[in-house]
Chain A
Amino acid sequence: MTAIDPTAHLTAEQIEELGRELDAIRDEVIAGRGEKDAAYIRKVISAQRKLELVSRGVLLFSIFPPAWLLGTAGLSVAKIMDNMEIGHNILHGQWDWMRDPKIHSTTWEWDHVSPSEQWKHSHNELHHTYTNVIGKDNDLGYGIMRVDEDQKWHPFHLGQPLWNFINACFFEYGIAAYDLELGKNLNKRRRKNPEFRARAKAVGRKIRKQVLKDYVIHPLLSGPSFLPTLGATFTANLVRNLWTHSVIMCGHFPEGVQVFERRSIKGETRGQWYLRQMMGSANISGSKAMHFMTGNLSHQIEHHLFPDLPSNRYAEVAVKVRALFEKYELEYVTGPLPKQVFSAWHKVFRLSLPNKKPKVKTPDREQELVAA
């Protein structure tokens, strides 16, 4: 719905050919999946657990400032690892092929207030199937923000920079509310729906456990360090929330990323689906450490094309995917983290204000294909 459709130069055949080339990349990785990949995820999980143990241990003495600093930093990193490289990717089924029931999308639970089961539905199923389709993909603005010129402006949107900031600080709660589709489910009739109530209960249970652990049990274990430990856990959760929120914003919000209309995905072919993922996602460039700390979501484009490939393979896949972008003359949206974060926030601010309706409307891809 941007003024000019950046894929307009592609014919229907080209799009299907592109799909086949992407399938070939996928098949190659799957055929080569093996021992090394399994060792990788095991190593990451074990490192995360050790880091968390040590950090929590250090925080028992957080009454001493250096211990507080060290423990807080360690716990923040451990929580980020748990959510990003481990939790997000395991829940995508990226490691199901190992047949290890302990590292499996059906059994994994993460350090997050949204229960895995619910998150898998809203994220894996809705967001990944309907990526960037307005009205179908709630990740677009999380239902509280206006993220595209074509969306109707409302005075409520004036506050969206603030909503976005608050959401960033309490991101895990935002996600839990979002997985529950709270906005839509809070009206009287839906609130009573037993299925919704069961899900809300599950979230309540998870929140209780998480809060009890972070803000009661561990501080209590610290005895005289009660308050510093409480502060440390709060800080670690805040750091994790701000970090994941930033990374996630970089995935679909930076300038240059396309959004789509509901009717444009009717009868979508595999090639068209791939193309939408390519145009609807953005990457973050940077070092190996950066890719690791983002859970390889810095390779958001590759992740959206192949959500079930092991995350440690995205870097090698990215080289091939990027070549395809060049071959088909498409823009590969990427940039360093600060630039992408700025770009996303810029959009949030810009669209908090009303804009003129764009003059040139993109023709529907469907109609276009019929014409082609």
Chain B
Amino acid sequence: MTSTALRSRAWKLLEMVTTPLLPSDYLDLVGPLRAGADLRGRIEAVHPETGDAATIVIRPGRGWRGHTAGQYVRIGVDVDGVRLWRAYSITSPTNRPDGRVTITVKAIEDGKVSNHLVRRAKPGTLIQLDQPAGDFVLPQAKPAKVLYLTAGSGITPVMGMLRDIEFDDVVMVHCAPQPQDVIFRNELHDLVADKKLRLTEVHTDTDGMLDIARLDELVPDWAERETWACGPAGLLDAAEEHWTEHGVQERLHTERFRPSIVVAGDGGEVTFSATGKTVDADGATPLLDIGEEAGVLMPSGCRMGICFGCVTPLKAGAVRDLRTGEITEAEPGVLIQTCVSAAAGPCDIER
């Protein structure tokens, strides 16, 4: 017998010992970061960067496969007891000797997770992790000239790149409301002092929004540079247009944060993605009824919100709890009780 076969035998035997739980349920008690466990991380430190941004140092579990500069990681954090998932760019270099990774988070208005991480997260807390992902990364072959065009927290993936690899000729144009809002400002200025970076800060409170046409004056050779841009949609749209106009769009790489914002309304178009049906729903009829009327096979039970026999994944959009008025937005892993939920805008139910 091969060793893998032997190991799987042993594991089966162990499962018999721990049934109906799994051996990992017990192992997690002592080694939540061990190899073979679901990927998790432990927050080891929280360093403030600006008034509303902080860097979180995370010790990833043994299953962490490592990242490429510029990538992001999805993390699951328990906020007020509820697990919420968000994606953040990794700001640490890929070769950090202690194996830790950092993300740098800017607290956004009403952002549950970002505010929690910046202001309340405590060292020692376990968080859930996904493997790093994203193709906003540097190419294998080193470009001769580089431009980083960033705004606000759009600097975070770029910082991961700056810390990872040195280029001979790097220019950065970064926008932030005021000097004190520039995340990593000291480190950037150190790089400038060491002549490793040429930096232009645009302080939008005094200078106004960056007009993309000003690039000609700020970085005259911008069109020759391999460019990575990250920031609000307005900036990226303008950049894409500008680069395309000059026929150099293949030199521009962009990364967009928060692509979709759910606007909760009253009723909306409901898609039953597994069945491929779409129907209009008002804001007062339970989705269970809507689905049944449309001929979708809907699991159900008490039909009054007590038995949890109707829980179904919400793939997209938002729903309103008909009893409390509470809005639930789609996120991976979110299940809703269809018998007491109505459409709050367009939504997608996995049935």
Residues on A close to B: CB < 8 A? Answer: 23, 26-27, 30-31, 33-39, 46, 49-50, 53, 92-93, 96-102, 104-106, 109-111, 120-121, 124-125, 128-129, 206, 209-210, 212-213, 217-218, 221, 273, 307-308
Contact B25 A49 (CB under 8 A): yes
Contact B333 A213 (CB under 8 A): no
Known contacts A50-B29, A93-B311, A129 near B82 by CB under 8 Å: no
A-B contact pairs, 25 of them (CB 8 A): A23-B323, A34-B81, A38-B81, A49-B29, A93-B311, A96-B311, A98-B78, A98-B81, A98-B82, A99-B84, A105-B308, A106-B311, A120-B308, A121-B309, A124-B307, A125-B301, A128-B307, A129-B306, A213-B16, A213-B18, A213-B19, A217-B16, A217-B17, A218-B17, A307-B307
With contacts defined as CB atoms under 8 Å apart, how many contacts are there between chain A and chain B in the complex? 104
**Residues 223-258 of B at the A interface (beta carbon under 8 Å):** none
Contact A124 B25 (CB under 8 A): no
Q: With A and B bound together, what is the CA distance between A38 and B81 in angstroms? A: 5
* Chain B residues whose C-beta falls within 8 Å of the C-beta of A96 in the assembled complex: 308, 311, 335
Contact B301 A121 (CB under 8 A): yes
* Chain B residues whose C-beta falls within 8 Å of the C-beta of A31 in the assembled complex: 324
Question: Nearest 4 CB-CB pairs, A to B?
Answer: A38-B81, A93-B308, A125-B301, A124-B307
Contact B324 A27 (CB under 8 A): yes
* Chain B residues whose C-beta falls within 8 Å of the C-beta of A206 in the assembled complex: 20
Q: With A and B bound together, what is the CA distance between A120 and B306 in angstroms? A: 11
Contact B301 A124 (CB under 8 A): yes
Contact A124 B19 (CB under 8 A): no
Q: With A and B bound together, what is the CA distance between A286 and B81 in angstroms? A: 29
* Chain A residues whose C-beta falls within 8 Å of the C-beta of B18 in the assembled complex: 213
Contact B81 A209 (CB under 8 A): no
Contact A101 B311 (CB under 8 A): no
Residues on B close to A: CB < 8 A? Answer: 13, 16-21, 25-26, 29, 78, 80-84, 301-302, 304-309, 311, 323-324, 326, 331, 333-335
Majority SS at the chain B contact face? loop
* Chain A residues whose C-beta falls within 8 Å of the C-beta of B309 in the assembled complex: 120-121, 124-125
Closest to A39 in B: B81
Closest to A108 in B: B20
Contact B302 A128 (CB under 8 A): yes
* Chain B residues whose C-beta falls within 8 Å of the C-beta of A27 in the assembled complex: 323-324
Which of B80, B82, B305, B335 is close to A308, meaning CB atoms less than 8 Å apart?
Answer: B305
* Chain A residues whose C-beta falls within 8 Å of the C-beta of B80 in the assembled complex: 34-35
5 further A-B contacts with Cβ under 8 Å, apart from A49-B26, A100-B78, A213-B16, are A27-B323, A34-B82, A46-B29, A124-B306, A129-B304
Contact B81 A212 (CB under 8 A): no
* Chain A residues whose C-beta falls within 8 Å of the C-beta of B326 in the assembled complex: 30
Contact B335 A106 (CB under 8 A): yes
Give the distance to chain B from A364, nearest Cβ to Cβ, in Å.
22
Contact B301 A129 (CB under 8 A): yes
* Chain A residues whose C-beta falls within 8 Å of the C-beta of B323 in the assembled complex: 23, 26-27
* Chain B residues whose C-beta falls within 8 Å of the C-beta of A307 in the assembled complex: 306-307
Give the distance to chain B from A181, nearest Cβ to Cβ, in Å.
16
Q: With A and B bound together, what is the CA distance between A36 and B17 in angstroms? A: 32
Known contacts A92-B308, A125-B309, A209-B19, A99 near B301 by CB under 8 Å: no
Q: With A and B bound together, what is the CA distance between A121 and B13 in angstroms? A: 31
Contact A109 B333 (CB under 8 A): no
Give the distance to chain A from B59, nearest Cβ to Cβ, in Å.
20
* Chain A residues whose C-beta falls within 8 Å of the C-beta of B306 in the assembled complex: 124, 128-129, 307-308
Which of A99, A105, A273 is close to B82, meaning CB atoms less than 8 Å apart?
Answer: A99
Closest to B300 in A: A125
Q: With A and B bound together, what is the CA distance between A38 and B77 in angstroms? A: 13
Closest to B25 in A: A49
Give the distance to chain A from B284, nearest Cβ to Cβ, in Å.
16
Contact B19 A125 (CB under 8 A): no
Closest to B79 in A: A35
Give the distance to chain A from B109, nearest Cβ to Cβ, in Å.
21
Give the distance to chain B from A257, nearest Cβ to Cβ, in Å.
19
Contact B307 A120 (CB under 8 A): yes
Closest to A35 in B: B81
Closest to B305 in A: A308
Known contacts A49-B25, A98-B83, A124 near B305 by CB under 8 Å: no
* Chain B residues whose C-beta falls within 8 Å of the C-beta of A39 in the assembled complex: 81
* Chain B residues whose C-beta falls within 8 Å of the C-beta of A46 in the assembled complex: 29
* Chain B residues whose C-beta falls within 8 Å of the C-beta of A217 in the assembled complex: 13, 16-17
Give the distance to chain A from B305, nearest Cβ to Cβ, in Å.
7
* Chain B residues whose C-beta falls within 8 Å of the C-beta of A97 in the assembled complex: 81-82
Give the distance to chain B from A18, nearest Cβ to Cβ, in Å.
16
Give the distance to chain B from A229, nearest Cβ to Cβ, in Å.
13
Q: Which of A34, A39, A125 has the most CB of B within 10 A?
A: A125
Contact A99 B334 (CB under 8 A): yes
* Chain B residues whose C-beta falls within 8 Å of the C-beta of A100 in the assembled complex: 78, 83
Q: With A and B bound together, what is the CA distance between A46 and B306 in angstroms? A: 27
Closest to A115 in B: B20
